[in-house]
Structure 1
Amino acid sequence: MYSHRRTVALFFLTFSLFGIGEAAPKQCRCLYGQSCWPNQSAFAALSRQISQPLINPVPPASACYPASSPSGDCAAVLTNFQDGLWRADQPGAMQSPAFETYTLRNGTIEGCYSNTTLGLPCLQGNVPPVGVDARTVGDVQAAVVFARKNNLRLVIKNSGHDYLGRSAGRGGFMLWTHHLKERSFNARFIPQGAPRSQRKTYQGELLAHQSSPCLILFIKSSGHLGSGVQWGEAYDYVNQQGRFILGGLSLDGTVGAAGGWILGGGHSTFSSTFGFGVDNVLEFKAVLADGKFVTVNAYQNTDLFWAMRGGGGGTFGVLTSVTYQTHPIFPFAQSALTAAFATPSIAQSVLTEFVKLQPKLADLGWGGFTFITPAGIQINYVAPNIDVAKANATFSPFADFVLNATQGAAQVGYTSFANFPDYFNVVFTGSPPQVGFPTELTARLLSRSMAERNPAKVAQAILAINDTVGAFSVAGGASSKPDPDAMALHPSMRKAVTNVMASVVWPEGSSGAVVQQQIEVLKKKTQILDRITTDSAAYLNEASLYEKDFKKSFFGSHYPKLRSIKAKYDPQSLFVVPRGVASDEWDSELRCRL
């Protein structure tokens, strides 16, 4: 039916999805296997409109099941299963395999596992069976129009770095943006629609150029990135231009630079110096639900510009590219500390002091990541435009406190870097795997006021998780300066200093009962972390699917305006994702309207 070598495998994997000939109820999306699903003629017509053959995404482990993928390379799967770059290159792979699986109503889990000795069948699970490998804006438009015309559940996937399940959808139609790799650099950028006679200050990077009777305003160096560009690629490219770009940090830079990261806000180790990702956006390009290709900035589609800066991925349209403000390259220093806790009282003492330190570090432009357990702590912080001596001066009081509290069971070190790529290549390559195993997350934003007024309470709550907790100091400083209502980003992000995150993990192929048990553990961890907040605010890109009130946790007071903007640009909710704007108006599978 589709032009792809895995047609037979597709049939094998998806046969169990739905009853043959089942129709889609009214007000429901049409899913694969139902009688409403587009026929061969319809897909043939779509194929003529796009630049690449249609794809049939399958779970990555399917290559290890000869009956479903006779030509697959199982050895490559086993070698790369926990490699984020490899996973990003597989249309059916999510960075967390938990979202490749699907739980039936009876609690049974369908999936496809790399461990073939489990004796479980290889099934399609939650991976959409058909899709478009978009290489051009025209491909995106054709896919969107096709999905809308045929009432399909549209799933937008980039690198698969998603912990709310937004990149997967059982029986859906995938739009894979991973190969939209366009990139360009403009030393002097003017947003489309900007009036040349109007003086406009843009992030303090404005240049005035008087070359005619009209005053022409230029923005200093911008980087234009297609939605398939990953941060590792973006860093290399922008560095070649002699500039720095604020972005996400993950092993090998696998996170998409122009996808869910930026649409959810985009935090970074350098946010206290340069703001959040959304503070550095100059312009979006996107395809709307009606197939129209639009420019979104401070002068065109301004309400959508407000919404897309923090309103969440896969919600208002298909993001095809982002133009970012860039910054001069800078040297910086790193402070690293590890310590072991011999007793609970030592852990409480050190962590309380660490929490108290957060606002000060943010004010000084420091950011970093910390991993905490009841047995110890590992800290890595950086700050631009300082040397080792200044780093020592900033951190030595805290380091001395830790050395004294732990009776010397601590180590501290300082390192200087000439530029960001040097740091990235040392810290974010060759580390232990971060992906390729089933996991789900929960998190809460630690506000400045809580860190200052109740550090002991915060420390107590973190230790009560009784497991590894990540404390990512990715806010405060410059990211706290903009007006909280200037864009859709949760207002509490502007008041935060640290994102505190916990997780659960389970063995591949676990039963539904085991997975549900871990989900209940995750819910309890959320309740514990809620003690460090006053409003249950969370960064929606690193959060839980099981929030009691996702509107409050992910969007706060901005939700009503977001809902109104979505109604304007996507009245039929073609773009609907788990815990996204208007998702509560659909059933739990986002298939039927309530």
Structure 2
Amino acid sequence: MKLSVPALLAGFFSLALVDAVSASQCRCTYGESCWPSDSDFAQLHSLLSQPLVYPKPTASPCYPSSSPSGNCSEVQDNWANATWRSDLPGSMEEPNWETFTLSNGTIESCYLETNITGTCEQGNVPVVAVDARMASDIQAAVNFSVTHNLRMVVKNTGHDYIGRSAGKGALMVWTHNMKNISYDSAFVPEGAPSSETYNAFTFGAGVQWFEAYDAAEKEGRHIVGGLGVTVGTTGGWIQGGGHSSLSPTYGLGVDNAVQMTVVVSTGEHLTVNAHQHTDLFWALRGGGGGTYGILTSVTYRTYPVVPVVAASFSANSTNTSLLQGLFTSSFGMLPSLGDAGWGGYGILSNTTLSFFYMSPNVSWAQANETWEPFFSQAENLTQAGLSIVGATTMNFSSFYTLWDEAGLSPVQQGGGAMVLGNRLIPQQAIESNNTGLTKALLEVIPDVSWNSVAGGKVAEADPDSAGLNPAWRKALVSINWGATWDDGTDAQEITGLLNTVKEQEASIRALMPESGCYFNEASPFEADFQYTFFGDHYAKLKSIKDQYDPHGLFVVRQGVGSDEWNDDLTCRVK
């Protein structure tokens, strides 16, 4: 590892102030007298490859309404375009994470409808950001934050359902422009014997999965990744486990990562894998993003391109019981689907049931044999009021072809306030009493979406092979529900909606108390998050965090060690 002289001096300076900084129990945030001076930030700027960035809420160009400060038409046209949002340092996919609620119930915000408040406030959007293009930029930001005792947050695209990439009065490390991609058909991890090789891609911290898929296609390889176009390869996805519709065949992201590089709070830039810093490599694979350091790259193994078969179903009805019956039937198929490598996504509402599954593990004939009984069941319900929109299987030459031709890479939607709830459903629960389980679920959450991204290869992995919640290895499916609200909704009404999500969480948890959550899509108010999110790995994860983050710099909502901080993550409480 090579550091510039300024970066080395900054690191030495930060270490010299450790005792003074650790004496403070609260982080310094913007507006306080401790906030770094202009000259301090000028010194930071001198160490960076790019000028500092000053993030603004997404709607800020529309203020003041009488004479907008920027291109308000662009904001209006793209408000719901999550891809557009991902390119803005101050924009979150869900704008509720751009707002901040004060203790008196006042909401600091910047709404697209400017007449709601008349003013644009910074809210939960960090005030200054380092536009990281290389590891030394991140090292400088980390050293600066430790020296000045700042709160730090890390953001790539803002695809974050729990608000971990935003923070009121914080310094942001914005990794979105770290777009390096390299391919090595005989990659040897650092410290490994020369005989240990992988056909692998290495992605920088800002690479998104659609960019990764394009790169893999050019090399004639397949890689396991996320579906959403605003999901990054190297941030919360992999550090949360990294689920994929192809996980039942190839495993989760954590099962396919062979090496990572990371900047930790001491300013060191470490290369971690199965041969060096093995404990940190273990923790970073599923132990939670923004918790141990800032990933600068991840190297993933790849696979040969093979055909993929897909199954699609959609039906409407005003008879809710018909749809719920089909939902129960589809869940009853999950154990055998997982074993055959089928993974996918679905949604059930009062009037619609739809899903899309895929598998590279079966022939088209086998796919038809698998799905024909379900399609026939649905067809037999048409006389009772079921309207089938589509029920078909399709054959594709590769996952990339499916991604491109089947419309799996559309403009992703954002711009709506939302909080999710989540639960992992164990295979045993479905096999022992699927009808009773789904009936109980739908009594609590009649509108539910699901990700069938476990079982198969995911279940075969050793539960202790990565820091990931062991509940993933017993699960078949991850279910989601949630609450949404309009801009301008007052704090009391929002609290009521969030309380409903909490009550639903408690009811679902009671059905499967030994299971857990996929914390990247869970509620930020989950009870006993230490067990629910991390299972019996929590104590080990906390020990590793304490070792590699001695300054306690990396703290995120309901992340490992966050219980030692107040709700705003600005002051230690124990």
Q: Give the alignment's TM-score, normalised by structure 2.
A: 0.92
Aligned residue in 1 for 2:71? 73
- Counting only pairs closer than 5 Å after superposition, residues 89-108 of structure 1 correspond to structure 2 as 89-108=87-106
Q: Distance in 2 between matches of 1:69 and 1:266?
A: 44
Q: Residue 400 of structure 1 aligns to a residue in which SS?
A: helix
The structural deviation recorded for 1:352 is 2.1
- Counting only pairs closer than 5 Å after superposition, residues 358-437 of structure 1 correspond to structure 2 as 358-407=334-383, 409-410=387-388, 411-428=390-407, 431=410, 434-437=413-416
Instruction: Check whether the contact 1:245–1:325 (CA below 8 A) recurs between aligned residues.
Output: yes
Tell me the alpha carbon deviations over residues 364-411 of structure 1, each in whole angstroms, 9 at most, x when there is no partner: 000000101233310111111534322111111122223224546334
Instruction: Check whether the contact 1:373–1:463 (CA below 8 A) recurs between aligned residues.
Output: no
The structural deviation recorded for 1:277 is 0.3
Q: Which moved more, 1:474-483 or 1:63-72?
A: 63-72
Q: Residue 562 of structure 1 aligns to a residue in which SS?
A: helix
Residue of 191, 194, 212 corresponding to 1:234 = 212
Tell me the alpha carbon deviations over residues 62-112 of structure 1, each in whole angstroms, 9 at most, x when there is no partner: 000048996411111111111122111100001110100000101111110
Q: Distance in 1 between matches of 2:118 and 2:398?
A: 49
The structural deviation recorded for 1:467 is 4.5
Q: Distance in 2 between matches of 1:67 and 1:172?
A: 27
Q: Distance in 2 between matches of 1:506 and 1:461?
A: 26
Aligned residue in 2 for 1:550? 529
Q: Residue 48 of structure 2 aligns to a residue in which SS?
A: coil
Amino acid at match of 2:207: V
The structural deviation recorded for 1:345 is 3.9
The structural deviation recorded for 1:113 is 0.9
Instruction: Check whether the contact 2:249–2:361 (CA below 8 A) recurs between aligned residues.
Output: no
The structural deviation recorded for 1:342 is 4.8
The structural deviation recorded for 1:491 is 0.4
Tell me the alpha carbon deviations over residues 265-296 of structure 1, each in whole angstroms, 9 at most, x when there is no partner: 00000000000000000000000101000001
Q: Distance in 1 between matches of 2:436 and 2:365?
A: 33
Tell me the alpha carbon deviations over residues 13-37 of structure 1, each in whole angstroms, 9 at most, x when there is no partner: xxxxxxxxxxx99410000010100
Residue of 546, 558, 570 corresponding to 1:579 = 558
Amino acid at match of 1:293: H
1:520 aligns with 2:496: no
1:337 aligns with 2:316: no
Tell me the alpha carbon deviations over residues 413-460 of structure 1, each in whole angstroms, 9 at most, x when there is no partner: 111111222221244457575311111111000110011112112211
Amino acid at match of 1:242: G
Instruction: Check whether the contact 2:200–2:299 (CA below 8 A) recurs between aligned residues.
Output: yes
Instruction: Check whether the contact 2:423–2:480 (CA below 8 A) recurs between aligned residues.
Output: yes
Cα distance change on mapping 1:232 and 1:291 into 2, 3 Å: same
Unaligned runs of at least 5 residues, structure 1: 1-23, 197-215
Aligned residue in 2 for 1:485? 464
Aligned residue in 1 for 2:286? 310
Unaligned runs of at least 5 residues, structure 2: 1-21
- Counting only pairs closer than 5 Å after superposition, residues 27-176 of structure 1 correspond to structure 2 as 27-66=25-64, 71-176=69-174
Aligned residue in 1 for 2:428? 449
The alignment-based identity, stated in percent, is: 45
Cα distance change on mapping 1:322 and 1:68 into 2, 3 Å: farther
Amino acid at match of 2:239: L
Instruction: Check whether the contact 2:425–2:515 (CA below 8 A) recurs between aligned residues.
Output: no
Aligned residue in 2 for 1:471? 450
Amino acid at match of 1:183: I
Q: Distance in 2 between matches of 1:433 and 1:175?
A: 24
Aligned residue in 2 for 1:18? none
Q: Distance in 1 between matches of 2:213 and 2:283?
A: 26
Cα distance change on mapping 1:373 and 1:326 into 2, 3 Å: same
Aligned residue in 2 for 1:20? none
Q: Distance in 2 between matches of 1:587 and 1:535?
A: 28
Q: Residue 333 of structure 2 aligns to a residue in which SS?
A: helix
The structural deviation recorded for 1:146 is 0.3
The structural deviation recorded for 1:464 is 2.0
Q: Residue 541 of structure 1 aligns to a residue in which SS?
A: helix
Instruction: Check whether the contact 2:152–2:172 (CA below 8 A) recurs between aligned residues.
Output: yes
Cα distance change on mapping 1:420 and 1:300 into 2, 3 Å: same
1:562 aligns with 2:541: yes
Instruction: Check whether the contact 2:234–2:297 (CA below 8 A) recurs between aligned residues.
Output: yes
The structural deviation recorded for 1:527 is 2.6
- Counting only pairs closer than 5 Å after superposition, residues 191-230 of structure 1 correspond to structure 2 as 191-194=189-192, 196=193, 216-230=194-208
Q: Which moved more, 1:572-581 or 1:422-431?
A: 422-431
Cα distance change on mapping 1:331 and 1:583 into 2, 3 Å: same
Q: Distance in 1 between matches of 2:506 and 2:247?
A: 27
Count of aligned pairs: 550
Q: Residue 138 of structure 2 aligns to a residue in which SS?
A: helix
Aligned residue in 2 for 1:3? none
Q: Distance in 1 between matches of 2:62 and 2:531?
A: 43
Tell me the alpha carbon deviations over residues 437-494 of structure 1, each in whole angstroms, 9 at most, x when there is no partner: 1111110001100111121122113322454311110000001111101111000100
Aligned residue in 1 for 2:301? 325
Instruction: Check whether the contact 1:442–1:526 (CA below 8 A) recurs between aligned residues.
Output: yes
Q: Distance in 1 between matches of 2:314 and 2:237?
A: 29
Q: Which moved more, 1:439-448 or 1:400-409?
A: 400-409
Q: Give the alignment's TM-score, normalised by structure 1.
A: 0.89
Residue of 224, 248, 254 corresponding to 1:246 = 224
Q: Residue 266 of structure 1 aligns to a residue in which SS?
A: coil
Q: Distance in 1 between matches of 2:417 and 2:98?
A: 9
Instruction: Check whether the contact 2:402–2:408 (CA below 8 A) recurs between aligned residues.
Output: no
The structural deviation recorded for 1:568 is 0.6
Instruction: Check whether the contact 2:82–2:411 (CA below 8 A) recurs between aligned residues.
Output: no
Amino acid at match of 2:441: I
1:346 aligns with 2:325: no
Amino acid at match of 2:290: G
Cα distance change on mapping 1:38 and 1:578 into 2, 3 Å: same
The structural deviation recorded for 1:548 is 1.1
Q: Distance in 2 between matches of 1:432 and 1:182?
A: 23
